[in-house]
Amino acid sequence: MNAPNDNAGPRSFRDWWRYPPRPGLQRFINPWEYRHVGLFGAIRIVGGGVAAVAGIICLSYGVWGWAAFFLAIAGLNLAAGFWYLSIARSATARA
C-alpha cells in the first residue's frame, strides 16, 4: 500500500501536463480545463457572447479597431467553446 506521505501524483510539469492522457489536439487543452471540459465549454461560449456584444457596441460607436478585436476574441471563444462541448459529448458516448 502507499505510505501516508507517498506522493503518487505527477512529479514534473511535463508529467502534470500529460495527465489525464488525451489524444491528438486535445493535448492543447489545459489539464484542469480538460477535467471539467463541459463546464469550461459553456463558460467560453458565454464569454464569446459577451465579447460579441462588446464588439457590436464598438461598431455602433464607430470604433473599428476595438470592434475588430472584440469580434475576433468572440469568434475564438465561441469556436473553442463548441469544440470543448463536442469533446464532452464524445467522452460521454465512449464511457
Whole domain around residue 69: which residue ranges?
A: 28-94
> Does 11 reside within a domain?
no
Question: How far apart are the two ends of the chain, measured CA to CA in Å?
Answer: 29
Q: What is the reported pLDDT for 64?
A: 97
- What pLDDT, in 10s, does the model give residues 6-51? 556 566 766 666 666 777 777 777 777 878 899 999 999 999 999 9
> Does 13 reside within a domain?
no
Q: What is the reported pLDDT for 63?
A: 96
Burial group, residue 33, by CB count within 10 angstroms (0-12, 13-18, 19+): middle
Q: What is the reported pLDDT for 10?
A: 61
Q: For 25-63, where are the alpha helices, taking DSSP H only?
A: 31-34, 37-61
CA distance linking residue 7 with residue 22, whole number of Å: 23
Residue 94 banded pLDDT, cuts 50, 70, 90: low
> Does 47 reside within a domain?
yes
> Does 83 reside within a domain?
yes
> Does 89 reside within a domain?
yes
Within a 13 Å sphere around the CA of 71, how many CA atoms are in the beta-carbon half? 11
The residue among 38, 29, 82, 11 whose CA lies nearest residue 20 is 29
Q: How many domains does the chain have?
A: 1
- What pLDDT, in 10s, does the model give residues 38-91? 999 999 999 999 999 999 999 999 999 999 999 999 999 999 999 999 988 887
